[in-house]
Amino acid sequence: MAPLGSLIRLSLLSSEELPYHALLHDRPNNADDLNRPTIDEDGAELYGHPTLEAFLKEALDEATQFMDDLPSTFREGSLKSSPPPIADVRRLSRVIPRAQLAEIPPKQSSAIRPGFPDEALKAGEIWFARRSRHLNLKQDGTADFHEFNYGIRIDHSEHERDYSPNVCGAVKIVEWDLLDESNMTLGQYSEPQMTIFEMYHRFPAPLSPRIFPELVVTAKTGSSSFIVVQIPVNVQSVERPIQEDSRSPNGGSKGLERKKSILGAYASIELCRLVTFQGVEMVEWTMATTSDAKGWLPMWAQKLGVPGAISKDVTYFMNWIAGRRRMRDP
């Protein structure tokens, strides 16, 4: 098992820990490109920000290693059916205690992660995961790899808003310019993308809605696999308009205002890959997450709800992709 990484944690990344972007940082006096940090002849970062390429690779490496270690680090739980998928969903869990988080080196590479504040370590991190395998077919109850790639990697945040009834808004705050990302490679990774979205979630009354500001990193990890990483980030200094709830029955008149919402945090990793299971080609979809909805909702109550909620996402996705298939192939 590899040591824990420092980026994909429940404590929020600050803007100073991210690659330079004009919407997040004051413009350096001699920056030629607003979305890319200027680097010296040795490739070292300037202005105190990691280079975009180094940050992307570290985040993707950390996520890939975390998922590689998942079978040996997570405890297997129940196997649940989640109609309409023709597949069962395995639930898993892991607790990363405060002491283990405190041992994470403050600097892994050019992506600098300072020591975690005490408040982020009090309860450690409680991770929940799910794993499901689906026939690699375009038919009801399942989806092929192309459909998974379209629905989960491409436009990840907007598609999550579309298929999950609990997500009522996905607002893009920042997007890094990767030039021709379709031809860009970082070691084993291709077509990398990095954005920041605010995800608007509705909670049952009397709980207030939540906003989750998330750094979203996606990439292909091979010809038949991809990964999606979400990391909580602090972007309160970036101005944005009031956002409407696109699912409001009154055409947005009941829109979610930021000032009426509570800022929450979650980190998550999703890995999809083609596998052969019991002699059959299948798409394996694994997702792991740790979260804190904040507010007065106690962590014990959150722990009760998360496993079921992430399992239901399999059903929501299958229903959504089937609806798209009926209209047109994605």
Q: What does each of the 330 residues of the chain score in pLDDT, given as a tens digit?
A: 888 999 999 989 988 889 988 888 765 555 444 444 444 433 335 456 888 999 999 999 999 999 999 999 999 999 988 777 778 999 999 999 988 888 887 654 444 445 555 555 577 899 999 999 999 999 999 999 999 999 999 999 999 999 999 999 999 999 998 756 667 788 899 999 999 999 999 887 778 889 999 999 999 999 999 999 999 999 876 766 545 444 543 334 344 556 578 899 999 999 999 999 999 999 999 999 999 988 877 777 888 889 999 999 999 999 999 999 988 755
Residue 53 dihedral angles phi and psi, to the nearest 5°: -65, -45
> 270 near 287, Cβ under 8 Å?
yes
**310 CB-near residues (< 8 Å, 6+ apart):** 128, 129, 130, 287, 289
- Angstrom CA distances, 267 to 11, 109, 166, 174, 292, stand at 9, 20, 17, 18, 9
Task: Estimate the share of the chain in helix, then strand, then coil, as percent rounded to the nearest 5.
Answer: 25, 30, 40
Residues 6+ apart with CB under 8 A from 241: none
Cα separation, 233 vs 212, whole angstroms = 9
Phi, psi of 234 (to 5 degrees): -95, 110
Tokens of 84: 């309409």
Q: Could you tell me where the beta strands, DSSP code E, fall in the chain?
A: 75-81, 88-96, 125-135, 167-175, 185-186, 189-201, 210-222, 225-232, 262-263, 265-277, 280-292
